[in-house]
Amino acid sequence: MKIAVCVKRVPDMDARFRISADGTSLDEAGLKFDINDFDAWAVEAALQLKEKAGQGEVVVMSLGPVAAQETIRKALSMGADRGIHLAADRIPFDGFAIARALAAELKEGSYDLIFFGKMSPDSSNGIVGPIVAELLDYACVTAISGLEMADGRGTAKRELEGAQEFVEFTLPAVLTVDEGLNTARYPSLKGIMAAKKKPLESKPAQLGDTMVTIKSLAMPPDRPPGKIVGEGAAAVPELVRLLQTEAKVL
Amino acid sequence: MANIFAFAEQRAGELRKVALENVTAARALADATGGEVHALLAGSAGIAQKAEQLGKHGADVVLVCEHDALKDYNAEAIAALAADRIKSGGYRVAVFSTSAQGRDLIPRVAAKLGVGIVTDVTDARIEGDAVIVTHPVNIGKVIATASIASTPAVIGLRPGNTTLVENAKAARVEQVQPVGDPSASRVKVKEMKQGTSAKLDIGEAPVVIAGGRGLKSADGFKLVDDLADAFGNAAVGATRAVCDDGWRPHSEQIGQTGRVVSPDLYIAVGISGAIQHLAGMRTSRTIVAINRDKEAPIFKIADYGIVGDVAEVLPALTAAVREARKSH
Which CATH number do you get for residue A37?
Answer: 3.40.50.620
pLDDT value at B34 more than 60: yes
Q: At what angle do helices B75-89 and B100-113 cross, to 10 degrees?
A: 50
pLDDT at residue number B250 = 85
Contacts of A131 in chain B (CB under 8 A): 107-108, 110-111
Quickly count: other Cβ atoms within 10 Å of residue A88's Cβ.
18
Is B321 in Cβ contact with A165 (below 8 Å)? no
Contacts of A240 in chain B (CB under 8 A): 317, 320-321, 324
A130/B113 Cα distance (integer angstroms) = 13
Is A179 in Cβ contact with B145 (below 8 Å)? no
Q: Is residue A218 part of a domain?
A: no
Is B45 within 8 Å of chain A by CB? no
Quickly count: other Cβ atoms within 10 Å of residue B158's Cβ.
24
B59/B3 Cα distance (integer angstroms) = 11
Closest CB from B256, B294, B312 relative to A233: B312
Write the DSSP assignment of B111-162 as a string of letters: HHHT--EEEEESEEEEETTEEEEEEEEGGGTEEEEEEE-SSSEEEEEPTT-S
pLDDT at residue number B327 = 76
Is B317 in Cβ contact with A220 (below 8 Å)? no
DSSP state of B325: H
Yes or no: say if B82 and B104 are a contact pair by the CB < 8 Å rule: no
* CATH number given to B4-184: 3.40.50.620
Query: Which structural domain, as residue segments, surrounds residue A60?
Result: 2-204
In which element (H, E) is residue A37 found?
helix A37-53
Is B146 within 8 Å of chain A by CB? yes
Q: Is residue A229 part of a domain?
A: no
Closest CB from A216, A233, A244 relative to B316: A233
pLDDT at residue number B328 = 64
Contacts of B276 in chain A (CB under 8 A): 13
Closest Cα in chain B, distance from residue A8 (Å): 14
B124/B134 Cα distance (integer angstroms) = 7
Closest Cα in chain B, distance from residue A184 (Å): 14
B309/B64 Cα distance (integer angstroms) = 52
From first CA to last CA, the distance across chain A in angstroms is 57
Beta strands in A39-81 (DSSP E): 57-64
Please give the residue of chain B at the shortest CA–CA distance from A219. B142
Report the percent of chain B where pLDDT is more than 70.
98
Nearest to B240 by CA among B276, B283, B264: B276
> A-contacting residues of B 172-191, CB under 8 Å?
186-191
Q: Is residue A245 part of a domain?
A: no
Band the pLDDT of B196: cuts 50, 70, 90. Answer: low
Please give the residue of chain B at the shortest CA–CA distance from A132. B111
Is B119 in Cβ contact with A127 (below 8 Å)? yes
Residues of chain B with CATH 3.40.50.620: 4-184
Is B112 in Cβ contact with A180 (below 8 Å)? no
pLDDT at residue number A223 = 85
Closest CB from A145, A159, A167 relative to B190: A167
Contacts of B316 in chain A (CB under 8 A): 233, 236
Report CA Rg, chain A.
Answer: 22
pLDDT value at B199 more than 80: no
Instruction: Assign domain B207-326 to a CATH class.
Output: alpha beta
Contacts of A208 in chain B (CB under 8 A): none
Closest CB from B256, B286, B294 relative to A13: B256
- Residue of A25, A136, A145, A249 to mutate, testing the B interface (most B Cβ within 10 Å of its Cβ): A249
Is B149 within 8 Å of chain A by CB? yes
pLDDT value at B157 more than 60: yes
Yes or no: say if A57 and A138 are a contact pair by the CB < 8 Å rule: no
Q: Is residue A215 part of a domain?
A: no
Closest CB from B187, B287, B316 relative to A169: B187
Q: Is residue A236 part of a domain?
A: no
A156/A244 Cα distance (integer angstroms) = 45
B285/B277 Cα distance (integer angstroms) = 16
Record the pTM: 0.93
Yes or no: say if B113 and B89 are a contact pair by the CB < 8 Å rule: no
Kindly give the confidence (pLDDT) of every residue in chain A, 250 residues in length, as a single tens digit, with 9 standing for 90 and above: 999 999 999 999 999 999 999 999 999 999 999 999 999 999 999 999 999 999 999 999 999 999 999 999 999 999 999 999 999 999 999 999 999 999 999 999 999 999 999 999 999 999 999 999 999 999 999 999 999 999 889 999 998 887 889 999 999 999 999 999 999 999 999 999 999 999 999 999 999 999 999 999 999 988 888 899 999 999 999 999 999 999 999 8
Q: At what angle do helices B310-326 and A236-245 cross, to 10 degrees?
A: 40
Yes or no: say if B284 and A226 are a contact pair by the CB < 8 Å rule: no
Please give the residue of chain A at the shortest CA–CA distance from B194. A163
pLDDT at residue number A159 = 84
Please give the residue of chain A at the shortest CA–CA distance from B16. A161
The whole-angstrom distance between residue B269's C-alpha and the CA centroid of its chain comes to: 22
Number of structural domains in chain A = 1
Query: A147 forms bridges with which residues in the sheet?
Result: A156
Yes or no: say if A178 and A144 are a contact pair by the CB < 8 Å rule: yes
pLDDT value at B295 more than 70: yes
DSSP state of B297: T
Cis peptide before B152 (omega within 30 of 0): yes
Band the pLDDT of B134: cuts 50, 70, 90. Answer: very high
ipTM for the predicted complex comes to 0.95
* Residue A192 CB contacts under 8 Å (≥ 6 apart), including other chains: A77
Write the DSSP assignment of A83-136 as a string of letters: EEEEE-SS--S-HHHHHHHHHHHHHHHT-SEEEEES--TTT----HHHHHHHHH
Band the pLDDT of B198: cuts 50, 70, 90. Answer: low
A69/B287 Cα distance (integer angstroms) = 42
Closest Cα in chain A, distance from residue B170 (Å): 31
Please give the residue of chain B at the shortest CA–CA distance from A23. B144
pLDDT at residue number B193 = 84
The stretches of A157-223 forming alpha helices (DSSP H) are 189-197
Per-residue pLDDT tens for B243-268? 999 999 888 999 998 999 999 999 99
Nearest to B165 by CA among B62, B58, B262: B58
The residue type of A191 is G
